[in-house]
Structures are given as C-alpha cells and as structure tokens.
Amino acid sequence: MKKVLLVSILLLLIVGTVIAYSVTFSSNPIKSEKIKVVATFYPLAYLAEKIGGERVSVYTLIPYNVEVHDWQPSPSDIITIENSDIIILNGAGLDWWFKSEILPLINTSGKIIVDTTEGLPLILHNNQYDPHTWLSPYMAKLQAEKILSAFIKKDPLGEKYYEERFKEIESKLNEIDEKYLIELENKKKDIIIVSHEAFGYLAERYGFKQIGIIGLSAEEEPSPKLISEIIELMKTYNITTLYFDPIYSDKYVKIIKNELENKLGNVNILKIYLCLGPIDNKDYFEQLEENLESLKKGLVE
C-alpha cells in the first residue's frame, strides 16, 4: 500500500473514530454498552450472534451474498474494525486482506482477534488451504468454539450465558452432521459437479468428490467451450445433476441446462448454497440442512 494512502487512512482513522463509533454501534444507545464484534462475513456473524446474544453487537463486514474471495475493505471498514473489541476472521486465506491491509493500521491493544480456523484440520488444495470450512457443520462447530472462547475472555461475567447459548448451536450442528453422515452413507454416486469448488470439507467428511466448473465470473454468458467441457465431464462420470449456488444468475443456469439437455437428455440443476447470506428465506443453518437434501438427490436417489 502506498505511503500517501497509508497516511490518509491513518488520518481517517483518527478523524473517523468518533463518527464510526456512533454510526456503527451507537444507533441504539444500549448497543454501545455491548461487546463490539466485527465478523468478516455472514456465517461467522451468525455464529457470533447466536453465542453472544444480548451481550454483543455484531457487525458483518462483507455484504451478504457477494463473492468473498476478491472482496477488500474500504477505509470506513478499517475505522469500524478500529472501534471494535473482538474481530472474528475465518482465516485459511479467506480474509487474507486483514493481515496485510488492516492489522498494520489498527491499534490492537485491548482487542481480541480470533482466527476461527487456526489449528483446525484444514485441507490443502493446490498448495493453499481450502478456506470453505463453514460449509461443513463439523468444521463450523469447531469455529464456533473459538468464538465462544474469545467472548469469555473479553467478558468473563458472561461465561455462563455464552456457554449455554453455545451448547444450543453445538447440538444443532452435531445433529446436522449426524444427518449428513447417516443419509449420505448409501451413496450410489460419489462425484458432484459444482459451480464453485467450495464443498471440499463436505466431500472429505462424507466421502465424495467435487469437480468445479464455472469459477467465479458467472454473470457472463457461458461460452460454448465451457458447455462442451461440462458435457464431457458429465458423460465421463455418468452424471445427470449439476449444482449451482443461487447467487449465480438464473439466466446463466438456464442456458447451460438447455444446451446440456439438447445433447445429454434429462439434466437436473439443483441448488447448493454457499451460505454467504440469508437467501430464499433460509438462514445459515437452514442452508446447511437444505444442502444435504440437495446432495441426496444427486448422490443417493
């Protein structure tokens, strides 16, 4: 980052401290007495709210249902982070910008920075960690434990409160994990074709493989080359189901479906959620549950 930009951000930090405090956390005066938590994206904010309840005020940095890998913070985000008590990161390379672009600019004294995937059994993929841990109920539970510890450290008086609330989400996530284990046990197929390779932790735990096809620029028209690649994949593996996250446009999905059906016959296009925000009236945990239903249609039925 250039020096001039750095200086101007530092200035903004000083000037903006009071403003950001009032805008982000004090619109409700009671909120200002709560523990101020910044989570980088929706699933972490969801877990933090479930665990923290009334004692915390949670702000989500990355807007809902946008591409997270290329997102970068603005100067006002840096001010928001500067004014927080606890910063919750996914880690594993997802919020890569925190270390390089935010950490050098903020005063960390008194703040707790939680890397929720630190020390977890991460998957290496092309020499990089696969960051999509939150899509696995098992990994999400381990991430939630990190959030619980941070809350207790910052606010020991709330220990019992946080632990009770944590137990609720822990048993919910255990229940979802059990359901995945049992209901995917009798698979007839073991490969899914997905828009974005985000399901590595599910694949590893529940015994299947994922093949990603679309990448991240799904707003464009699918190219004839892409269509023929998908057809080849589906023929090779005898697969009739394609998985798409609903943040991809309908138009794109319909074109692919039409092209494939012209050449392969009946093709099912099923939704699989990336859980990057509430969508289709479903929250994070409901999307995890819905993903299982969808996986069953492609792998078991």
135 versus 253: smaller Cβ distance to Zn ion:
135
Residue owning tokens 């299947």: 208
Rounded Cα distance between 237 and 34, Å, is 53
Helix (H, G, I), strand (E, B), or coil: what is residue 1? coil
User: 238: alpha, beta or left, given left = phi > 0 and alpha = psi -120 to 50?
Assistant: left
The full length of the chain comes to 301
Q: How far is the CB of 87 from Zn ion (least distance, A)?
A: 21
122 versus 198: smaller Cβ distance to Zn ion:
198
Span of 107-115, 195-203, 256-264, 287-295 interacting with Zn ion by CB under 5 A? 195-203
Chain position whose Cβ is nearest to Zn ion: 198
- Burial (CB < 10 A; 0-12, 13-18, 19+), residue 180, is buried
Span of 73-81, 139-147, 193-201, 277-285 interacting with Zn ion by CB under 5 A? 193-201
Helix (H, G, I), strand (E, B), or coil: what is residue 82? helix
The site string for Zn ion over 146-185 (x = CB under 5 A, - otherwise) reads ----------------------------------------
Sign of CA dihedral 94, 96, 101, 102: positive
Q: How far is the CB of 233 from Zn ion (least distance, A)?
A: 20
Span of 75-83, 172-180, 196-204, 263-271 interacting with Zn ion by CB under 5 A? 196-204
51 versus 198: smaller Cβ distance to Zn ion:
198
Q: Which of 89, 152, 198, 295 binds Zn ion (CB under 5 A)?
A: 198
78 versus 94: smaller Cβ distance to Zn ion:
94
Residue 299 lies near Zn ion (rule: CB under 5 A): no
Q: Are 160 and 209 in contact (CB under 8 A)?
A: no
Residue owning tokens 């990057």: 276
Rounded Cα distance between 33 and 206, Å, is 43
Q: How far is the CB of 75 from Zn ion (least distance, A)?
A: 26
Rounded Cα distance between 202 and 130, Å, is 12
Quote the distance between the C-alpha of residue 71 and its chain's center. 13
Q: How far is the CB of 224 from Zn ion (least distance, A)?
A: 26
**Residue 288, both tokens:** 């995890």
Q: How far is the CB of 196 from Zn ion (least distance, A)?
A: 5
Q: How far is the CB of 198 from Zn ion (least distance, A)?
A: 4
97 versus 161: smaller Cβ distance to Zn ion:
97
Name the phi and psi angles at 5, rounded to 5.
-60, -40
Span of 101-109, 190-198, 222-230, 281-289 interacting with Zn ion by CB under 5 A? 190-198
User: Residues in the site for Zn ion, rule: CB under 5 A?
Assistant: 198
